[in-house]
Structure 1
Amino acid sequence: MKTVRLPNKTEIVLIIILFLAIMYVSLAVFELPIQLALLAAWVVVGLLGLRLGHTYDAIQGSIVKGINQGVEALLVIIFVGALIGGWIAGGVVPTLIYYGLDILHPSIFLFATLIICALTAIATGTSWGTVGTVGIAMMGIGQSFGVPMPLVAGAIISGAYFGDKLSPLSDSTVMAASLAKVEIITHVRSMLYISVPALVISSVLYLGAGFLFLDKTGEADIGIVATNMAAIQENFQIGWYMLIPIVLVLVLLANRFPAIPTIAIGALLGMIWAYLFQGMDLVSATTVLYEGYTIESGTPFIDTLFNRGGIVSMLGVIVVMILALGFGGLMEQIGILEVMRASFSNWINNTGRLTVATIVSAFLGNFFGSAGYVSLITGTKVTEKNYDEMGIDRKVLSRNTESGGILTAPMVPWSDNGIYMATVLGVSTMSYLPFLWLNFVGIGIAIFYGYTGRFMWKAEDAGEEIEREEEELVYESH
């Protein structure tokens, strides 16, 4: 029987170099889909596994095991696709954007952009969808106000990722909680301790920047907002009652109702709203849950903003998640994560270093893996045992992983997030990077908590309620 050994540091360095080369050449040079790059990475890591003595069956089994760990997240994403399609067709998202645009004024434009994008991302659970819809509108309005485009992009991305991290509908939020073995609402509550202060601080910064850069006499530019609001109102029925599905879904999730049926209820309400209030027939209203909403209004603002959603729109994301989860299982099987974990363990001797190690591990997932999903895997898998050994509750692990993984995702030019943001907003990653104030502040707050011990909850202090949640998770996994 062939002896199985751990990879040495030289082999790990070579794998990292090859991984980086694959991602860079695939994404930046040939502009291939991230899915193909991850498949190539599977081959490279799999070959290393064979060299280390692992059998093919063991390698394939590790891929399947890694994917199995994220099956619940995959199911959530399917229902989220239906939800977005239903909420656009039902006028829920258009109403949310309409009311958001109503508060815009040149002097508070950047602050309003931050808040509007944050609310949209919380409601839809997607930073990409927020940037691709509201973000595009904000870029156009910001340009007419005379705001530097990189600054507008920074406010858009900051708000989008704030909302994405706090939304129980977000695939990354669900995945971070799932990988850390934490109930999703518990994870979101833990994130609030970082996200809320970061939002307050960045809001002050964007308000200050607004008064510094904006032309306070440009009242005529408000006409752009009025035109866009009129276009929304022309194509959708707008009213406060359109927001009922959002309120109901958030209330159910806040009361710990299971995520999948809650999201399904939200999607169903969107379909019903489309039939009752938006003039769609029942078949068409149902179809948008799978195929997404389509509109040809002749107004670029409307057509760009609302042609999206549906289960079909999530298929690419689902494939990426499957490949990323499988890749994480591969790294765990052949011992790369174990060696990295051992290297960090020799250095980790307090909660401050533990926090930094988690954030750095997650960032390396973006840097070398070129995908936010990979960062969530590296962030949790490399340091999870250290949290258990130090008696730190795993909701701190999931929080720090999102801080190091999701907040840094748009900062890497060749990552899927960085490429998407730069392409959609028309601003290079390095140009908007200095203005991702909420992202930088959030990471700083996480590190501050780590070194001061604030909100670094001990596992035994989590209470009977958290203990019961963990027992339920263990039961469900079996």
Structure 2
Amino acid sequence: MDALIRKPSFASAITLLIVIFFIFAVGIGFLNYPVEFILITVTVTSCFYAKYYGNNWKNVVDMFVSKIKDAVPAMLILLAIGILIGCWMISGTIPLMVLYGLEVINPAYLYLTAFLVTVCISTFTGTSWGSAGTIGVALVAVASAMDISLPITAGAVISGAYFGDKLSPLSDTTNMAAIAAGADLYQSIRNMLYTSVPSFIFACVGFYLLGNDLHAGSVGQLETIAKMKMALTGLFWLNPLLMAPALLVFVGAIKKWDTIIVLVASSAFAIALAVIFQDVLFADIINTSINGFKSSMLPGLNDLAMDETTSKNINILLNRGGMYSMVNPIVVMLCAFMFASAIEVSGALSVLLGSLAKKLHTVTRTVLATMFTSSLLVACTGNAVISFFIIKSMYDPSYKEKKLHMVNMSRAMESGATLLEGLFPWTISGMFMAKTLGVATLDYAPFVLFNLSCFVMAILFALLAKFSNFGTRYEEAVT
């Protein structure tokens, strides 16, 4: 059978890639079809293409099995994170983090404060949507009351939200980028600090300068924040001990303890704290770890007088987590693996790579190609996660040939895809941010300082690789 397999021509391979991009762009960007359906569609398309050139379904399945085998530990981590978020929620750990964030909001430095608060919340919760959809909404409401720039406020919120979405060990995109690249999660996060720390400093300075002429608002202008704080303190018994589960996770990251063991231990710690401090049923605590937390589990909810806006914000913040919350990312990952397997077996990628590899003879060109291809893919597909697995299939041989560690690929994919996903109006994240914050994507895009500066820093480090190994890891250099 192998003797019958034919190698596609360059024109044929390009045609397949164009068709796939078209399906992604139309299906996700315009028709808003489910990502899973589009991935299945392009998988079938690639399978027919592979069949035409002599391959068969068994080859695709064998490739799929080999990819999934390596990804099983990562899937377990995703499930453990879902459990962790649910347990942190019902124990009061995440609500306490949000409360601390709300307490440090200073209207006199609203832009800088908005950035720093969402940095903290998104880092501890691992979600850009959750932090933007809760505290971000409150911050934009304050900005509206103070009659100051909503686009700059939204840019600060989104910048802080994506800081955590890029660096938090609880973030699904951070985990998926590491999974797709085949890199260790914590090594990947540490490597991203090279671009993230300078970008963080730049964003702090930028938002401070943009807001240095703001003045503190009246007590009435802080009503939105006050209502959120009152609701959280009324629903939970919040005290500093509730930070212990989060501290355990970050100590585990520093000590390089096994990720799954740390996550499970932190979840168990949070369960114990929920039993001790929160007025909830033990059955609800267990149910939260599996199915996610619901605000209706709190007996004080009905006794707490909240207006419609505050109630909506509280529900957006609290109602999530649980093992089953990670089923959708895992299903998307399975579909992405199947598509990656089909297109790899088809031979189209190897043909394109054979031509592209002639031009990727330096580390700089390889990393830059990874970044800009990631940006192109997220612009076409509207989803960063999809681009991760395509990029892995396309550039994996080039990274191995140059002995580049896969944390470089992970950082390039995050810089090119994750950070820019919310800046395209037609992507899922772009639409979510614009709708949630009430600011058009193209209005806030110039002020998303962290995302834009991080993209520029990633380019600079790629160029620096011509002269120095600083910020670029090689296989021999990783311990």
The TM-score with structure 2 as length reference comes to: 0.89
Aligned to 1:54: 55
1:140-187 Cα offsets, whole Å, 9 max, x none, are: 333323343333332222212211221222232223223333322221
C-alpha distance 284-101 of structure 1, shift in aligned 2 (>3 A): same
1:107-160 Cα offsets, whole Å, 9 max, x none, are: 222222222222222212222333333333333333323343333332222212
Structure 2 residue 414 is matched with structure 1 residue 406: no
Q: Give structure 2 stretches of 5+ with no counterpart.
A: none
Q: Identify the range of structure 1 (170-179 vs 273-282) with the bigger mean alpha-carbon deviation.
A: 170-179
How far apart, in 2, do the equivalents of 1:253 and 1:158 lie?
A: 24
C-alpha distance 318-388 of structure 1, shift in aligned 2 (>3 A): closer
How far apart, in 2, do the equivalents of 1:226 and 1:181 lie?
A: 44
Aligned to 2:313: 301
Runs of 4+ in structure 1 off by over 6 angstroms are none
Matches within 5 A, 1:61-460: 61-211=62-212, 214-218=214-218, 220-296=220-296, 297=301, 298=306, 299-453=311-465, 454=468, 455-457=470-472, 459=474
C-alpha distance 23-85 of structure 1, shift in aligned 2 (>3 A): same
Q: Is the 8 A contact 1:375 1:406 kept in 2?
A: no
How far apart, in 1, do the equivalents of 2:427 and 2:340 lie?
A: 17
How far apart, in 2, do the equivalents of 1:217 and 1:132 lie?
A: 23
How far apart, in 2, do the equivalents of 1:273 and 1:306 lie?
A: 17
- CA drift at 1:211: 2.9
Aligned-partner SS, 1:22: helix
How far apart, in 2, do the equivalents of 1:109 and 1:275 lie?
A: 37
Count of matched residue positions in the alignment of Structure 1 and Structure 2: 463
Q: Is the 8 A contact 1:364 1:378 kept in 2?
A: no
Q: Is the 8 A contact 1:380 1:398 kept in 2?
A: no
C-alpha distance 114-90 of structure 1, shift in aligned 2 (>3 A): same
C-alpha distance 30-459 of structure 1, shift in aligned 2 (>3 A): closer
1:418-445 Cα offsets, whole Å, 9 max, x none, are: 3433343343433332222211111111
C-alpha distance 317-394 of structure 1, shift in aligned 2 (>3 A): closer
Task: Tell me the amino acid that sits aligned with residue 27 of structure 1.
Answer: I
Aligned-partner SS, 1:407: helix
How far apart, in 2, do the equivalents of 1:335 and 1:416 lie?
A: 31
How far apart, in 2, do the equivalents of 1:44 and 1:208 lie?
A: 51
How far apart, in 1, do the equivalents of 2:284 and 2:261 lie?
A: 22
Taking every aligned residue pair, what percent have the same amino acid on both sides?
29
Task: Tell me the amino acid that sits aligned with residue 420 of structure 2.
Answer: T
Q: Identify the range of structure 1 (78-87 vs 146-155) with the bigger mean alpha-carbon deviation.
A: 146-155
C-alpha distance 310-106 of structure 1, shift in aligned 2 (>3 A): same
Task: Tell me the amino acid that sits aligned with residue 11 of structure 2.
Answer: T
C-alpha distance 140-327 of structure 1, shift in aligned 2 (>3 A): farther
462, 465, 471: which is aligned to 2:477? 462
Q: Identify the range of structure 1 (247-256 vs 340-349) with the bigger mean alpha-carbon deviation.
A: 340-349
Task: Tell me the amino acid that sits aligned with residue 436 of structure 2.
Answer: V
The TM-score with structure 1 as length reference comes to: 0.89
Aligned to 1:470: none
Aligned-partner SS, 1:267: helix
How far apart, in 2, do the equivalents of 1:443 and 1:162 lie?
A: 12
For the aligned residue pairs, the C-alpha RMSD in angstroms reads 2.4
Q: Is the 8 A contact 1:125 1:164 kept in 2?
A: yes
C-alpha distance 326-238 of structure 1, shift in aligned 2 (>3 A): same
Q: Give structure 1 stretches of 5+ with no counterpart.
A: 467-478
Q: Is the 8 A contact 1:341 1:382 kept in 2?
A: yes
How far apart, in 1, do the equivalents of 2:159 and 2:131 lie?
A: 11
Task: Tell me the amino acid that sits aligned with residue 170 of structure 1.
Answer: S
Task: Tell me the amino acid that sits aligned with residue 75 of structure 2.
Answer: L
Aligned-partner SS, 2:55: coil
How far apart, in 1, do the equivalents of 2:124 and 2:71 lie?
A: 23
Task: Tell me the amino acid that sits aligned with residue 328 of structure 1.
Answer: A
